[in-house]
Structure 1
Amino acid sequence: MVKLLMIADDFTGALDTGVQFAKRGICTQIFTKQKLEDADVRPETEVLVVDTESRPMEKAEAYEAVHEIAAWAVRRGVRIIFKKTDSALRGNIGIELQAVADTDRDETVFFMPGHPTIGRITENGTHYIEGKLLQDSVFGADPFEPVKKSYIPDIIADQSEIPVRCLRREEPIEICGADNCRVAVCDVTCTEDIDRRLEELKAQGRLKLLAGCAALADRLVEIIPFHYAKRKMFQKTDSLYVACGSLNQITREQVEYAVKECGFACRHLTMEQKLCPAYYETPEGKAFIGEIVKLCETEKKIVVDTFDGEEDIHEYRMIHGIPQADVRFLISESHGHIVKEIVDRRMDVTILMTGGDTLMGYMKLIGCTQLEPVCEIEPGVVVSMLVWNGYRQQVISKSGGFGTEDIMGRIAQKIVK
């Protein structure tokens, strides 16, 4: 019986949150399709995670995507709905919180956005990244989703007029409701702040509508009575292939470190190779994929990246009439063509994909809508099994703006035989 529904706006978010339950042996299913049938959900499933892919949507479309799946869960008696948000508050934060709130207008959505273990905290309603205001951090200059504000009620107000209240650490939840508050932004400066607030909500029977990132999911495991099975672990493979679809500066530094310090072989996709998926149907494209496959046969650690200067990308887009909004999806599809060929060869390789769109692009290409989370190999880096045409492929997903400089090397040390 499903006890908890989590709604994520991108695939990486769905995975890094869902794995908090799966890694403890709790039966968890993750779907990338929004219209679920009762038959899709196994009887033993207790945590259901749905990726709405709504982060790049227009706000009206994002509202419908989130509200539809939340209302579906309410009709089926799911008691707790958790809106997973990005720890850097990218995406349709305001309208998606409203979509969840509108499933029960008598309840408040308790929003705990902080992730203290990676330096992302909320204090007096303001969000900080490693001591900097969110707007002054690397996420303020994100190439696709720059966050230009740090005070969370202002971020919500950009999309929704829903009443919001900031709940400081020492303030009780009873004050929410007296002033028609429908979203309570809770301060999170340490993990204990999350624990105290969850215990308070549980004691007062208000553990119903929640929002936050993977840090909240990790603590929620201790609050809900689940059934536990044997935990699963990742498998070692002959090699590690990194499909780097992220354009984030943090990921660029990770790739540079992996090549210089950890011995990764590296290939860089040209503009045509990353922005024209049809290229891979040409003789040149097929030859290039053949080169990558041979590289996987001779090297233990490979990374294929998509970095270019913004001016270069802009010039290419203008010449070929490519909208800026399409860039991330074209990059994902191009990576998908390469990875599909590697997987078709049944090579003993683990695929690491950076950026939520990258793994999603691959799954769309092969027609897969469900993934089984296994464990975290590093904090926030998820190992999953993808079943396709009877073949089980181990994949790892990592958000583009996540992790330390040496993270790819550490993953390779654990994965490669």
Structure 2
Amino acid sequence: MIKLLIISDDFTGALDTSVQLSASGATAYVTLDSKFNTTDFSPETDVLVVDAETRHLNQKDAYEAVFSITERARKAGIPFIYKKTDSVLRGNIGAELSAVLKAGGQKRIHFIPAYPQMNRTTRKGIHYADSVPIDESIFGKDPFEPVLYSDITQIIRSQTDIPSFIIEDPRQDWSQYEGILIHDSQSADDLEQIAQKLKEKGEIHLLSGCAGFASLLPMLTGISGSKPQTPEISSHLLIACGSIHPVSLAQCSYAVRSGAPHYHLTPEEKLSPAWANGDSACSLVSHVFQSCKESPVVILNANGPDEPGKTYAYAKERGIELSQIRENVVAVMARLVEDLIDRGVNATVFLMGGDLLYQFIKQTGINVISPVCEVEQGVVLSEVLYKGKRINIISKSGGFGRESLFMDLSDRFQI
């Protein structure tokens, strides 16, 4: 019986949140089907995660999508709903929280946006990344979806009329408030205190936050079981980078400096989905395939030198809009990864960026993905059924992880 529904706005977020439940022994599945039927899942299913893919939608469409999913869950009798939000507040935060609140039938939704383990904190309603207000950080400079405000109430007010309130201390009395309650948190201990208070008050049916607070959902909901065994993982890693986040680019650069073969796409190649079906792409796949036999880490990067500026200039000359850039890049990258898997590539595939992961799952016709464990904070190992064969996929958001991540994981997997 499904006890908890998690609604995410992108695929990496769906996985890094659901894996918090899998780690406790819960049976969790991630699906792209927003019109899910609970009877389609086994009675042993504890947690269903719906990737609503609302990150890039307009506010109205995002609201309607999340409202519909929440309403469906409520009618199905699912007792707990968790709206997963981005740890740096990208996307339609206010619109989606209001949708869950209105469809969920409660007076309040508690929003705990911090992820202290990844240096995302909230103080007096202001959200920080690495101690920098979020709109002044690198996330405020994102070319696709810059975060415009650090004040969370301002983000919410820009998207909904539902009132929001800042709760600076979990001991604070919030009984007079109706709307979206934003909880400050600067440490793991803060998160635990908030969770305990919510449990004491019985206000755990509508919650929201990122993977940080999701780690406490097993305690709050009582969902647990036998912890999963980590499957055997190839010590060779194929890194497919579809992200332009500086953290991702630095990780790729570090691996290249450490000796990893590096293959990158030109603007013309990555902006032309038809190119992925041609001889040039086939030749590239052959070279990457061979390198994966010989090297413990291989980088297949959508970004070459002087990126992303070179791609933007190329796209501008040809009238290609920003949204189309993103769609074309991940379509090409997903096709290359699929071809490599079909050839039997000797490596565990590591997909960077929620858009690339989503496109790969959608393009290959995979219906359900099963999170297994975190191999690092925010780095998720999952299992999928692909053409009748179970394969492992590692994924992470573009902004997570230290520079040496790929080399460190490869060394660990070889032990």
Which category of TM-score, normalised to the shorter sequence, fits these structures? over 0.9
Give 2:357's aligned residue: 359
Answering whether residue 41 of structure 2 is matched by residue 38 of structure 1, we say: no
SS at match of 1:254: helix
Farther off after superposition, 33-42 or 353-362: 33-42
**CA–CA separation in structure 2 for the residues paired with 1:32 and 1:414:** 32
- Indicate conservation of the 8 Å contact 1:6/1:83, yes or no: yes
Instruction: State the Cα deviation string for residues 143-193 of structure 1 (Å, max 9, x = none).
Output: 211112101000111111111011111543x424x24x3100001111122
Question: Tell me, which stretches of 5 or more residues in structure 2 are unaligned?
Answer: none
SS at match of 1:211: strand
Give 2:11's aligned residue: 11
Give 1:340's aligned residue: 338
- Indicate conservation of the 8 Å contact 1:27/1:46, yes or no: yes
SS at match of 1:222: helix
Q: Given the superposition, is the C-alpha separation of residues 156 and 92 from structure 1 closer, same or farther in structure 2, using an over 3 Å criterion?
A: same
Give 2:199's aligned residue: 202
Q: Over the residues paired in the alignment, what is the CA RMSD in angstroms?
A: 1.5
SS at match of 1:392: strand
Partner amino acid, structure 2, of 1:25: G
**CA–CA separation in structure 2 for the residues paired with 1:328 and 1:414:** 33
- Indicate conservation of the 8 Å contact 2:263/2:300, yes or no: yes
Instruction: State the Cα deviation string for residues 51-98 of structure 1 (Å, max 9, x = none).
Output: 001000011111111111111110111111100011100111110001
**CA–CA separation in structure 1 for the residues paired with 2:135 and 2:332:** 31
Q: 1:261-300 maps to which residues of 2 (within 5 A)?
A: 261=258, 263-300=259-296
Instruction: State the Cα deviation string for residues 86-131 of structure 1 (Å, max 9, x = none).
Output: 1100111110001101113442010000011121110111111111
Partner amino acid, structure 1, of 2:277: E
Farther off after superposition, 51-60 or 218-227: 218-227
**CA–CA separation in structure 2 for the residues paired with 1:348 and 1:52:** 32
Partner amino acid, structure 1, of 2:46: E
Partner amino acid, structure 2, of 1:325: S
Answering whether residue 149 of structure 2 is matched by residue 188 of structure 1, we say: no
- Indicate conservation of the 8 Å contact 1:242/1:302, yes or no: yes
- Indicate conservation of the 8 Å contact 1:135/1:150, yes or no: yes
Deviation at 1:408, TM superposition (A): 1.3
Deviation at 1:416, TM superposition (A): 4.6
- Indicate conservation of the 8 Å contact 2:262/2:300, yes or no: yes
**CA–CA separation in structure 2 for the residues paired with 1:232 and 1:110:** 33
- Indicate conservation of the 8 Å contact 2:71/2:104, yes or no: no
Give 1:111's aligned residue: 111
Deviation at 1:311, TM superposition (A): 3.3
Q: 1:304-315 maps to which residues of 2 (within 5 A)?
A: 304-307=300-303, 308-315=306-313
- Indicate conservation of the 8 Å contact 1:238/1:348, yes or no: no
Deviation at 1:238, TM superposition (A): 5.0
Give 1:169's aligned residue: 169
- Indicate conservation of the 8 Å contact 1:234/1:383, yes or no: no
Give 2:237's aligned residue: 240
Instruction: State the Cα deviation string for residues 4-49 of structure 1 (Å, max 9, x = none).
Output: 1110000000000000111222111111221112332221111111
Farther off after superposition, 346-355 or 2-11: 346-355
Farther off after superposition, 162-171 or 248-257: 162-171
Farther off after superposition, 309-318 or 212-221: 309-318
TM-score by length of 2: 0.96
- Indicate conservation of the 8 Å contact 2:87/2:114, yes or no: yes
**CA–CA separation in structure 1 for the residues paired with 2:299 and 2:62:** 33
- Indicate conservation of the 8 Å contact 1:4/1:78, yes or no: yes
Deviation at 1:288, TM superposition (A): 2.2
SS at match of 2:350: strand
Deviation at 1:328, TM superposition (A): 1.8
Q: Given the superposition, is the C-alpha separation of residues 342 and 310 from structure 1 closer, same or farther in structure 2, using an over 3 Å criterion?
A: closer
Give 1:316's aligned residue: 314
**CA–CA separation in structure 2 for the residues paired with 1:205 and 1:182:** 16
**CA–CA separation in structure 2 for the residues paired with 1:138 and 1:374:** 30
- Indicate conservation of the 8 Å contact 2:273/2:331, yes or no: yes
- Indicate conservation of the 8 Å contact 2:8/2:49, yes or no: yes
Question: Tell me, which stretches of 5 or more residues in structure 1 are unaligned?
Answer: none
SS at match of 2:215: helix
Give 1:213's aligned residue: 210
**CA–CA separation in structure 2 for the residues paired with 1:15 and 1:230:** 17
Deviation at 1:303, TM superposition (A): 0.5
SS at match of 2:140: helix
Partner amino acid, structure 1, of 2:196: E
* Percent identity (aligned): 35
Instruction: State the Cα deviation string for residues 284-322 of structure 1 (Å, max 9, x = none).
Output: 222222222222233221011122434322221123332
Q: Given the superposition, is the C-alpha separation of residues 43 and 157 from structure 1 closer, same or farther in structure 2, using an over 3 Å criterion?
A: same
Deviation at 1:343, TM superposition (A): 0.9
Instruction: State the Cα deviation string for residues 231-260 of structure 1 (Å, max 9, x = none).
Output: 221422152100000000111111111111
Answering whether residue 140 of structure 2 is matched by residue 140 of structure 1, we say: yes
- Length, aligned pairs only: 413
- Indicate conservation of the 8 Å contact 2:127/2:134, yes or no: yes
**CA–CA separation in structure 2 for the residues paired with 1:347 and 1:305:** 17
Give 1:253's aligned residue: 250
TM-score by length of 1: 0.95
Give 1:226's aligned residue: 223
Match of 1:301 among 297, 300, 306: 297
Give 1:372's aligned residue: 370
**CA–CA separation in structure 1 for the residues paired with 2:413 and 2:88:** 28
Q: Given the superposition, is the C-alpha separation of residues 385 and 367 from structure 1 closer, same or farther in structure 2, using an over 3 Å criterion?
A: same
Partner amino acid, structure 1, of 2:310: D
Instruction: State the Cα deviation string for residues 241-282 of structure 1 (Å, max 9, x = none).
Output: 000000001111111111113x21111111122111110222
